[in-house]
Structure 1
Amino acid sequence: MINNIYLGVDIGSTTVKIVVLDKQRHLLAWRYLRSRGQPRRTLLKEAKSIAHEFHLTLEDLESHIVGVGLTGSGGGPTAELIGGQHINELIAQTRSVGEFHPQARTVVEIGGQDSKFISVAWDEKMGKMILVDMAMNNVCAAGTGSFLDQQAERLGISIENQFAQLAMQSENAARIAGRCTVFAKSDMIHLQQKGTPLPDILAGLGMALARNFKSVIGKGKSFIPPIIFQGGVSYNQGVVQAFEKVLKLKHGELIIPEHRHLMPALGTALMTIDEEIEGKFIPFKGFAPLQEYLHTKRSTHKSMPPLPTKDVMFANRKPLTISLDSIKSNRNERKPVYLGIDVGSITTKVVLIDEQKNVVARRYLYTVGKPLEIVRQGLIEIGQEVGDNVEIMGVGTTGSGRYLTADFVGGDVVRSEITAQARAAIAFDPTVDTIFEIGGQDSKYISINNGAVVNFAMNSACAAGTGSFLEEQADKLEINIERDFSQQAFCSKCPAALGERCTVFMESDLVHHQQQGAKVDDLTAGLAYAIVENYLNRVVGNRHVGKNIFFQGGVAWNDSVVSAFQEITKRTITVPPHHDITGAIGAAILAMEEMNKLGNKVTTKFSGFDLSKRHYQTKSFICQACPNLCEINRVTIADEAPIFYGARCDIFEEKGRKKHKHHDIPDFFAERHETLTGNYIAPNGRRNNRLRLGIPRTLIYYDMFPYWRTLFDELDIEIVLSDMTNPKIAYLTKEHAVAEMCYPAKLVYGHVMELLDQDVDAIFLPCIINRENIAEGQEENKYCPYIPATSYLVTAAIDIESRGVKPLRFSMHMQWEKTKKKELTNLAKELGMSYKRIEHAEKIAMTAQNNFYDALFKRGQEILTNLNPNIPAAVIVGRGYNTCDFGVSQDLPHKLRKMGVLPIPMDYLPLKTANISDRYDFMFWRSGQDILSAAMLIRNDPRLHAIYVTSFGCGPDSFTINYFRRIMEGKPFLELELDDHTADTGIITRCEAFFESLKMGT
């Protein structure tokens, strides 16, 4: 018999937790349930379950409840219905930790949608634990349990058991982005596609999550042991191990509570008992108001128009036909067919087409993180289906796993997804002018004119607005994406407005609407609208949308998304036959055209349908040949020579069987770096008593090193450069960066840490505000504010002086001579030198800097005069620390040269000759001026093409890119957005697609 019980309720973003305590604080019962989009209904259901456990009716249970405490994202609105205390999550967790682990000093909590850092201390006077400091993730759900759930499900493994078990088998954790969940997801998928072992990927994900928590949530705060790790994610031993490594904890310093998943709920129940004792009590109203609420229809959220169903369902959906019977009707001869394989991030498509481009056989399979296994399965199944009735004449591969797949099956043609999707659409309808393609992880826009691709765009690394996001949300709502999603969406009268931002923002909005009681119908319709709005705004942008629009990709099966496209665009959307495998069809057609063009000169390399005996092995290792420390994947297929993926250079090309052409294309970026550094040689130990000054090889280094090197040489100061950006520096950056900035600015932290190990006396951390004038008509030449700010941000996060090293920090306005004179005077005092000496050195330094500019201009003129018309030339547009730091650009110039493209540094162009002041005199960023000048020169030179490299979160580029587009209007260019993610498949795909589209358009 129970009497006088207290309920603690934690309504989170994905789960509902309930605890029942008696007055002596004994735990009598508890529940931990996934809410599946219905948190209040779940609460009521579990309250009835608890009543049943005590052999009571719900009404009888209510009579025994003295008080209820509620917390979590849904706690407040629910407390308004049923009464009780609404308690802040952080306070609740502090209370429960104080009850069960009074020795704790730090709490790390990671739940389904939220992450929290809590610093706590025991107050002897008050006799309880108090909250000292705290931090939480922002609206973004990066690095939380919901993301781990999604990846485990996509990989076909159990999050509770297999994830940790596999992660702990890893010998070499893969490098995975941690700042953003969708960048991490992209990294994981691309690592799979080049054969990285699954345990290494899972271990890398755990490490990324832990590093992300330390840098983004912790932001330089002290993690004082003992540390309590709680929340649902603490059940994952792989993540627990990652936190122990990242926080460098000794055995026993990371404590996992017995009721790790219930701590906020326990805290609210305990505080409810405390409040009753102190007489500060809010009475419990009972569950009747909640029952009434759940039976009442309402719409309180901002809504979209209902999805139109008239003429949508099948009016423009072309029938799917398969010509398998045609190959079996003629048993006297084998029918020539072509094989197309599209290995995507989420699904793998395999198709056979005949010479009339009819589909003979097809397979649509989930990749589940095992691309080669699934390709093998698809080929075996199709081989059994067609028997000996066909002869494979050619094989084409596409998708993010196209290269590895081609090596495995014996591919003849490897093409980007853009080219393959366009070729299939043109085969279905030569008049098609626009393609909307949404797949599992990528989305694409393609503009076609007269059968040639004239423009295209892909989602920028982020998976927002793609099929994987839609499927993940449908699963959370307990809706079958294939059978029920559209049906429920069409029933909605008030579709929820979920915005069109990043996936994690949309997911957070979805959770908010759930907590406000939105109907599942309205949420599904809202998701259909959201994916379309995201695609149109983030991918298509202001690009031309024609009249004959094809909607391709797996998401085109979803009629509610088709309807949302038609409602928003007010245009007819055609869903072609086999829209879900158009990439594979296009690859097969391209193979057919290539093999027909070559005639009898070549035969297919196809290894056959039965690949069951074609074994392969994968192993990853770190190449130690240079400071780049590339993560290499070694793939051995059957008894053939191994193939190596992941190297930035050609070191493995002689060892393996992968060969690349175009080694004769000059490397102007390496040449530029030699011009930048001159005859600089790293010092070998100390010489005399010279001051050793460490200079981080990032940000202004890539433009101004000749100036600073000459200045300090003249002052008899020894310069020590940090290494080029490499994995070690990237790791140090993640360990120590506390501010959310673009990746190049964050890298300063890592470069400074690397210099602290090089026996330097001081580290160069200037506060450079602007640059010298080089163009007439521009009044301002400012640097991005993060460049001067890093001087203060880094020294606030890293105690340089405690290591016996002095930060050389001073202001400098390169543009304003009078101000610069005062600043040089201050620098002279800082260095203990006379102003005359530093003034003399500065004049020589300025001459050296101008000589550097002149050398770039002269070399650029030579190159432009002698461009080879047979080699496409691409100017890499952007700031020097984006384009010339190969650790940031993922060595883009090397990748382009492998493709047969000549990469040209932007400052090889005669930027001074392009006067932008008439139209853009307001452009006060010096880098922005250079970028727009480059745009004018590229726009007017038919030999040149532009690749615009920007960083995720770059403020100046957020508007500079729009002016760049205006200038380039009518001439295609490629935009690449980079961050700390390391997988390069997305970059390669976009570059290949860009240059293939240029060929098609000529």
Structure 2
Amino acid sequence: MRVGLDVGSTTIKCVVLDDRNNLIYHTYERHYSHIVEKSAELLRRVAERCGREAVFAISGSAGMGMAESVKAPFVQEVFATRVAANRLAPGTDVIIELGGEDAKILFLTNGLEVRMNGSCAGGTGAFIDQMATLLKMGAEEMDQAAQMAEKTYTIASRCGVFAKSDIQPLINQGAKPADIAKSIYQAVVNQTIAGLAQGRPIKGHVLYLGGPLTFSKCLRQSFDETLGVTGTCPENSLLFVALGAAFYAEESWDLLKTAELLEQRGMSETYRSQPPLFENQAEYDAFKARHAKATVPQADFPTDYAKPVHIGIDSGSTTVKVAVIDENAELLFTDYRPNQGDPIALLKTVLLGLYESHPKLNVASVTTTGYGEDLAKAAFHADFGVVETVAHFTAAKHFMPDVDFIIDIGGQDMKCFKIENGAISDIFLNEACSSGCGSFLQTFAQALGYDVKDFTKLGLFADRPVDLGSRCTVFMNSSVKQAQKDGASVENISAGLSISVVKNAIYKVIRASSPEELGRHVVVQGGTFYNEAVLRAFEKEMGLEVIRPNIAGLMGAYGAALYGMKKAVKGNHSTLLTEPEMRAFHRETESRSCGQCGNNCQLTVNTFSDGGRLISGNRCERPITGKKDDDRWNLYEYKRQLLLGYKPGENRRGRIGLPLCLNFWELYPFWHTFFTKLGFQVVHSPMSSRKLYLEGQGSIPSDTACFPA
């Protein structure tokens, strides 16, 4: 009997072959970071079903440390894949394999050549999982939706964070989830080809392996269309590495003894650690009691309430928050829920609920803020819109008048404000990276099989939190994976991630040289600070006790309501849709390409039932005004026509081609003249376009050069 174990970054695969190499047992399951326990359990299961003596080997990205601990034979996964392909799919030219966090292209014809992702997990299963989470879909659901798509958007795939920056506006602007799902799969294809092909054409008989390609029909179709091939996803495509390990294994082992050895030796804890968040229960109790004092006054909100109220709406990247206050700025009502990709439908439900439960509701003002500020304001006829930095400052100042530093960590963004003399003097925002935000922790919790609240609680009393530094989400995947190999428990990984969030905020986003320069009267807010591990880590890193309001996640909505209260004219009523109008309200979204200039912005046109309209996705005012510019005053058009006016001369000494991009765009007149005078015929590439880029992306001999380089 032959047994192969493939321990990957997120899953564990096991195969059992009889003496004729027939597959008699196999399993594929997530290990949720419990690598040793899961492996031992599988070996026992195999021993009970098939017998305890077997020729045995381990493979996989997380299997090496485990194999070393019990002195079991280890087969490198690329080699295992090749062994299995030679046996089960002879004649294969290229293998494309996508795993949880790794991507590989194996060229088998004319000698083995391997392309693997290094430290970037963009375009892998973990990336697809992150994007599915953002769309509030399961992986299977996302694949089914993608097959109904009508169009694709351009989405970054090199990093999950950049991809979120592309996807979130599409969600907030009402783009169809099916179109976004299809675009995500296309982004994975582009990332794999651009990052891994590196100048070698992918052609001939192509084999698709690994979870993402096995489970997603749409992903396979996208590869086929982009490469111009008809690839094959073979039977047992998920098990090729495990099968290769089983085929290559030579030594006979006692599986039960190996399982026992694994549990005894496990994996020694060799990672770098840092001090625990709480030394004991008493320290934690004192911490809880202190933060319980920071509360915003609340008032009764009976059903017959008829006094004027002010409503604040914070439509964020992942959640929707609503706060209703009275004329004394006391809270009457709050609502906080995930936006599920459709914030407008959720807001309609909340506002209708307010009308129904309070028949005499007297709305004096409605103010919107957050990512979806413009959409919510246009849809429901809100009175005011306020930039979220101002909304958060307004709330914090009302709560703590002498505040000199505010930090707000939301689902995907981070805002920090320095306050001097009662005004914002400096603002720090995360521009491209969300590795210190709520979705960062949520993604890791889900990858390890936990609800985010349960996951972060695990870290409160961890004895040796892992020192993960303050790195990008994608690199952090690798750090967590390494910590798992080094024997770190889930508790210590959880605590380490919470500490990393804080270090990322202070040293990468704010770029502080020391915590002291941030201020001494600090208010922390945003949903991420409900997480006590993050809050405690922040206080320890800053070396002071901070204020976290009990409505930390609602401060944007509360600040918007306060802003509206100050701006509203006494006695006036809000322009908010009435209850009958709210019931009748619906919106339709349509995606279209603007086409009024070379940018070809993908517009999302929201049309509301009352005839109102909001156009988003535009990078200029042209789609809204409907006017075309007069190209006589367009310097860019003038320059373009000037460059295209240079025609190829006589070919006396040869032909030279210049790419019309980067510095050649600026210096083309010089080079054209220079080479023409020397007797060369000078031609240039056509105008850059998405189509041209996609055609050439596989020819870049580097995985670090991005478009347009």
TM-score, normalized by length of structure 2?
0.91
Residues 53 and 420 of structure 1, relative CA distance in 2, 3 Å threshold: farther
Contact 1:308 1:567 in 2 (8 A): no
From 170, 173, 177, the equivalent of 1:198 is: 177
Deviation at 1:490, TM superposition (A): 2.2
Deviation at 1:703, TM superposition (A): 4.8
Task: State the AA in 1 paired with 2:518.
Answer: V
Contact 1:676 1:706 in 2 (8 A): no
From 319, 340, 347, the equivalent of 2:312 is: 340
Query: Whose RCO is larger (CA < 8 A, sep 6+)?
Result: 2
Contact 1:733 1:747 in 2 (8 A): no
> Partner of 1:698: helix, strand, or coil?
coil
Residues 168 and 747 of structure 1, relative CA distance in 2, 3 Å threshold: same
Contact 1:676 1:705 in 2 (8 A): no
* In 2, Cα distance between equivalents of 1:35 and 1:262: 15
2:708 is aligned to 747
Cα offsets for 1:593-640 (capped at 9, x unmatched): 3334xx68x863312467443111112122333332221112111141
Contact 1:328 1:389 in 2 (8 A): no
From 508, 520, 540, the equivalent of 1:567 is: 540
From 473, 481, 497, the equivalent of 2:467 is: 497
Matched, 1:328 2:302: yes
Cα offsets for 1:850-894 (capped at 9, x unmatched): xxxxxxxxxxxxxxxxxxxxxxxxxxxxxxxxxxxxxxxxxxxxx
* In 2, Cα distance between equivalents of 1:688 and 1:443: 58
From 28, 31, 56, the equivalent of 1:32 is: 28
Deviation at 1:27, TM superposition (A): 0.7
Matched, 1:699 2:662: yes
Residues 22 and 674 of structure 1, relative CA distance in 2, 3 Å threshold: closer
Task: State the AA in 2 paired with 1:522.
Answer: N
From 63, 68, 72, the equivalent of 1:80 is: 68
Contact 1:409 1:608 in 2 (8 A): no
Task: State the AA in 1 paired with 2:236.
Answer: H
From 56, 61, 86, the equivalent of 1:68 is: 56
* In 2, Cα distance between equivalents of 1:314 and 1:722: 68
1:113 is aligned to 101
Residues 747 and 589 of structure 1, relative CA distance in 2, 3 Å threshold: same
From 220, 224, 227, the equivalent of 1:240 is: 220
Contact 1:444 1:458 in 2 (8 A): yes
Matched, 1:146 2:126: yes
2:201 is aligned to 222
- Map 1:227-376; keep pairs closer than 5 Å: 227-234=206-213, 235-249=215-229, 253-272=230-249, 275=250, 286-294=258-266, 299-308=269-278, 310=283, 311-320=286-295, 323=298, 325=300, 327-328=301-302, 331=304, 334-376=306-348
- Map 1:762-773; keep pairs closer than 5 Å: none
Contact 2:83 2:247 in 1 (8 A): yes
Residues 24 and 593 of structure 1, relative CA distance in 2, 3 Å threshold: same
* In 2, Cα distance between equivalents of 1:81 and 1:313: 42
* In 2, Cα distance between equivalents of 1:195 and 1:163: 17
Which has the larger Rg? 1
**Identity of counterpart residues, as a percentage?**
29
> Partner of 1:647: helix, strand, or coil?
coil
* In 2, Cα distance between equivalents of 1:434 and 1:22: 67
Deviation at 1:338, TM superposition (A): 1.7
* In 1, Cα distance between equivalents of 2:355 and 2:198: 56
Task: State the AA in 1 paired with 2:224.
Answer: E
Residues 740 and 700 of structure 1, relative CA distance in 2, 3 Å threshold: same
From 600, 604, 608, the equivalent of 1:633 is: 604
Residues 391 and 93 of structure 1, relative CA distance in 2, 3 Å threshold: same
Residues 487 and 322 of structure 1, relative CA distance in 2, 3 Å threshold: same
Deviation at 1:180, TM superposition (A): 1.5
From 663, 673, 680, the equivalent of 2:642 is: 680
1:425 is aligned to 396
From 20, 30, 44, the equivalent of 2:16 is: 20
Contact 1:627 1:726 in 2 (8 A): no
Deviation at 1:671, TM superposition (A): 6.1
Cα offsets for 1:255-282 (capped at 9, x unmatched): 001111111001101111xx36xxxx78
Deviation at 1:641, TM superposition (A): 4.7
* In 1, Cα distance between equivalents of 2:384 and 2:426: 23
1:617 is aligned to 588
Deviation at 1:156, TM superposition (A): 2.4
Residues 68 and 741 of structure 1, relative CA distance in 2, 3 Å threshold: closer
Contact 1:69 1:85 in 2 (8 A): yes
Deviation at 1:524, TM superposition (A): 1.1
Deviation at 1:477, TM superposition (A): 2.8
* In 2, Cα distance between equivalents of 1:603 and 1:500: 49
Task: State the AA in 2 paired with 1:150.
Answer: Q
Cα offsets for 1:514-534 (capped at 9, x unmatched): 122211211111111111111
Cα offsets for 1:110-132 (capped at 9, x unmatched): 0111111111149xxxxxxxx61
Contact 2:466 2:495 in 1 (8 A): yes
1:392 is aligned to 363
Task: State the AA in 1 paired with 2:273.
Answer: S
Cα offsets for 1:389-436 (capped at 9, x unmatched): 432222222222222222112122223322221121111111111111
Deviation at 1:334, TM superposition (A): 1.8
2:564 is aligned to 591
Deviation at 1:201, TM superposition (A): 0.6
Deviation at 1:655, TM superposition (A): 5.7
Contact 2:93 2:203 in 1 (8 A): yes
* In 2, Cα distance between equivalents of 1:143 and 1:212: 6
* In 2, Cα distance between equivalents of 1:535 and 1:672: 41
From 6, 29, 33, the equivalent of 1:10 is: 6
* In 2, Cα distance between equivalents of 1:152 and 1:50: 34
* In 2, Cα distance between equivalents of 1:455 and 1:558: 26
Alignment RMSD, CA only?
A: 3.1
The number of aligned residues is 697
- Map 1:790-801; keep pairs closer than 5 Å: none
Structure 1 segments unaligned to the other structure (5+ residues) = 55-60, 123-130, 657-662, 749-1002
From 449, 460, 472, the equivalent of 1:478 is: 449
* In 1, Cα distance between equivalents of 2:683 and 2:364: 59
2:155 is aligned to 176
Residues 697 and 343 of structure 1, relative CA distance in 2, 3 Å threshold: farther
* In 1, Cα distance between equivalents of 2:521 and 2:631: 43
Deviation at 1:695, TM superposition (A): 5.2
Deviation at 1:468, TM superposition (A): 0.7
- Map 1:845-860; keep pairs closer than 5 Å: none
Task: State the AA in 2 paired with 1:13.
Answer: S
> Partner of 1:568: helix, strand, or coil?
helix
> Partner of 1:306: helix, strand, or coil?
coil
Contact 1:697 1:722 in 2 (8 A): yes
Structure 2 segments unaligned to the other structure (5+ residues) = none
Residues 242 and 522 of structure 1, relative CA distance in 2, 3 Å threshold: same
Contact 1:627 1:724 in 2 (8 A): no
2:423 is aligned to 452
* In 2, Cα distance between equivalents of 1:585 and 1:695: 57
> Partner of 1:255: helix, strand, or coil?
coil
Deviation at 1:689, TM superposition (A): 8.1
Deviation at 1:52, TM superposition (A): 4.8
* In 2, Cα distance between equivalents of 1:642 and 1:717: 56
Contact 1:73 1:515 in 2 (8 A): no
Contact 2:198 2:698 in 1 (8 A): no
1:509 is aligned to 479
> Partner of 2:591: helix, strand, or coil?
strand
Residues 638 and 495 of structure 1, relative CA distance in 2, 3 Å threshold: same
Deviation at 1:283, TM superposition (A): 7.8
Task: State the AA in 2 paired with 1:418.
Answer: T
Matched, 1:155 2:139: no
Contact 2:364 2:568 in 1 (8 A): yes
